[in-house]
Amino acid sequence: MMMRLIIVSQNLLLTEMTYVNLQLNPERYTGYNGTSARRIWDAVYSENCPKYPAEELCQEEKILYKLISGLHSSISVHIASDYLIDEATNLWGHNLEIMYYRVLQYPNRVENLYFTFLFVLRAVTKAAEYLEQAEYDTGNPTEDLKTQSLMKQLLYDPKLQAACPLPFDEAKLWKGRRGPELKQKIQAQFKNISAVMDCVGCEKCRLWGKLQVSGLGTALKILFSVNDEENLVQIVSTLPRL
C-alpha cells in the first residue's frame, strides 16, 4: 500500500500543509545519533515510565512501558535494516551488529516489540468495519481503488486471522476504581511523548517518530472505545513499521 501523509503544523493555515510521500522518505539510518538522540529517549522514559519496581506496577502501567520499549526497538530495527554501510560508495544494507547490540541481545525488547505489534493489530482489527468502508482519496482514482483493495486484504488476511484471532484482549483492562484515572493518565503520557518528539533535531526522524507515536495513541483510543477516525491513517502507517 502506498502510504502518503500530510503533515499539518499547529497554528498554520491549511494552505501551508506539507505533502510527504512516505515511500520516498523511508524510515532508515539518517546519521542522527549520539547525545542528542539519547536525550530524547531519556526524556521519553524518565517522564513517562514509573521508577518504582515493576512488581508494583498495575497491568495498565506495564503496558505503557511495553509500548514505549516496543516503539524504541522498532525504530532501532529499521535503522539497522537500512543502514549506510559505506558513505564513500553510498552502500546501504543491513547492520546486524547494531541490530544485535540495540535489540536482539535483550529478550525483553524483542518481546515488547512483538507486544506492540499485537497491540496495534488488535486496534486495526477492531476498527475493521470503518477502515473497509472509508473513502480513500489520493487524488488518483486508480490509486484509490488499489488502496481500498489493499486495505481489505490487510483486514481479512486469512493467515493473519489464523495466527492472531484475538491478539490482544482489552476487555481485561481499565477495570476497577482506577480505570478512568489510568486511561486519562496514559493518554496524557502519550501527548507528552509526542511533544518530546517535537524536539528531535532530525526532520525525517521527527516525522517517523511523531507518526508512530500518533499511531500508538490512536490504537489506545480505539481500544478505549474513543472515536478517532481522523487519525486512523497513522495507525495503519504504524502497523507495518512494527
- With b for 16 or more beta-carbon neighbours within 10 A and e for fewer, the 32-48 pattern comes to beeeeeeebeebbeeeb
**SS3 of 156, please?**
coil
Highest mean pLDDT among 7-21, 51-65, 128-142: 128-142
Quick check: 8 pLDDT over 70?
no
Locus of grid cell 495507525 = 235
Contact 116, 90 (CB under 8 A): no
Contact 116, 66 (CB under 8 A): yes
Quick check: 222 pLDDT over 60?
yes
Higher-confidence residue of 180 and 52: namely 180
pLDDT band at 52, cuts 50/70/90? low
Q: What's the chain's average pLDDT?
A: 80
d(CA 216, CA 90): 33
Quick check: 224 pLDDT over 70?
yes
pLDDT at 29: 92
Locus of grid cell 546501504 = 92
d(CA 30, CA 203): 10
**SS3 of 224, please?**
coil
Higher-confidence residue of 49 and 94: namely 94
d(CA 233, CA 135): 12
To the nearest whole percent, how much of the chain has pLDDT over 70?
77
pLDDT at 9: 39
pLDDT band at 237, cuts 50/70/90? low
Higher-confidence residue of 165 and 28: namely 28
Q: Per the structure block, which three cell numbers stand in for 181?
A: 484515572
Contact 231, 135 (CB under 8 A): no
Quick check: 179 pLDDT over 80?
no
Contact 81, 99 (CB under 8 A): yes
pLDDT band at 11, cuts 50/70/90? very low
Locus of grid cell 482489552 = 170
* Range of weakest confidence among 11-20, 57-66, 156-165, 194-203: 11-20
d(CA 153, CA 149): 6
Higher-confidence residue of 3 and 89: namely 89
Higher-confidence residue of 199 and 13: namely 199
pLDDT band at 10, cuts 50/70/90? very low
d(CA 226, CA 205): 28
pLDDT at 187: 81
